[in-house]
Amino acid sequence: MTLDPRTVPVRFSTLKKLAQSPAHYRDALEPHDDGESLALRLGSGVHALLLGGAEVVVFTGKVRNGKAWDEFQSEHAGKVILNQREADEARGIADAVNAHADAYRLLTDGTKLEERVTAEMDGRAIVGRPDAYGPCHVVDLKTSRNAAPAKFLRDAQWRGYHAQLAWYGDLLGLAGKARVTDHFIVAVETSRPYCVVVYQASPQAIDIGRRQYRLWWEQLRACEDSDAWPGYATGVVPWDVAEDVEILFDE
């Protein structure tokens, strides 16, 4: 039976796939088993330690395959499974966040953590799980290889973090959970000394982020109405080459 995309509540993690193409959005609705990268495991462990939810357990085996791994994975379904080195690193990262006064305040002072929030936008079901929110603020926790402003803020714009913050703030408003005026990112590096930086998005950044996700939203609704999910381009794409183009050959 073919999945009807209109029956799946829209979440930001799939909506942003439209930045690639409608085909990527449609594919993201189907179940996939693409494995789990080290960065994803570590991020999941840090989120679990700081925000609660899934329990972190340590697998002492040498490799993530074979009978021992299968049995351990089955026994601890729904938990975050790390090896000892990963668990130690996740704990160090979490401790660094808790030691940062602003980050700790945003994640603990009257804040709800990883609550599943549902609402409707233009008659369409939407859903999200903000990392943390209070009556007037929302927080997204990001693990990063580099949290320094000069690098992180470029990556944040490229990855659409401002659109994600706008989406979560609007979701909370539509659900009647909060009236968000302040949007924060707590960024923490995944290598020692686990530097932490708290970023607050400006009203302009949120406005631009909102306009960005609304463009994806309108594109999504058009695709759903037509049940057409094109890739990068339709038809033949023209290609020309300049006279003085330099050709680089791989060695």
CATH of the domain at 133: 3.90.320.10
**Do residue 92 and residue 184 come from a single domain?**
no
Question: Which segment of 10-14, 41-45, 147-151, 167-171 scores lowest on mean pLDDT?
Answer: 41-45
Q: Per-residue confidence at 80, pLDDT binned at 50, 70, 90?
A: confident
The mean pLDDT of 89-117, rounded to a whole number, is 94
The mean pLDDT of 5-25, rounded to a whole number, is 96
Listed residues 51, 68, 99: the one ending a domain = 99
Can you read off the two tokens belonging to residue 46?
């840090």
Domain assignment present for residue 13? The answer is no
Distances in whole angstroms, Cα of residue 45 to Cα of each of 48, 50, 96, 98, 139: 5, 9, 14, 15, 18
Residue ranges making up the domain that contains 106: 101-220
Please give the Cα distance from 115 to 29 (Å, whole number): 22
127 φ/ψ angles, rounded to the nearest 5 degrees: -150, 155
**Do residue 117 and residue 135 come from a single domain?**
yes
Domain assignment present for residue 108? The answer is yes
How many domains, in total, are found in the chain?
2
Q: Per-residue confidence at 249, pLDDT binned at 50, 70, 90?
A: low
Q: Per-residue confidence at 229, pLDDT binned at 50, 70, 90?
A: very high
Which pLDDT value is given to residue 35? 62
**Do residue 171 and residue 137 come from a single domain?**
yes
Instruction: Identify the CA nearest to 95 among candidates 200, 195, 184.
Output: 195
**Do residue 129 and residue 50 come from a single domain?**
no
The mean pLDDT of 189-211, rounded to a whole number, is 97
Which pLDDT value is given to residue 122? 95
**Do residue 208 and residue 114 come from a single domain?**
yes
Q: Please state, for a pLDDT cut of 90, what percent of the chain lies above it.
A: 74
Summary count for the chain: helices (H), strands (E):
9, 9
**Do residue 140 and residue 206 come from a single domain?**
yes
**Do residue 127 and residue 172 come from a single domain?**
yes
The mean pLDDT of 56-63, rounded to a whole number, is 86
**Do residue 113 and residue 89 come from a single domain?**
no
Please give the Cα distance from 15 to 25 (Å, whole number): 7
Q: Per-residue confidence at 1, pLDDT binned at 50, 70, 90?
A: very low
Q: Per-residue confidence at 250, pLDDT binned at 50, 70, 90?
A: low
Entry field: residues in the chain? 251
pTM of the model: 0.89
**Do residue 136 and residue 169 come from a single domain?**
yes
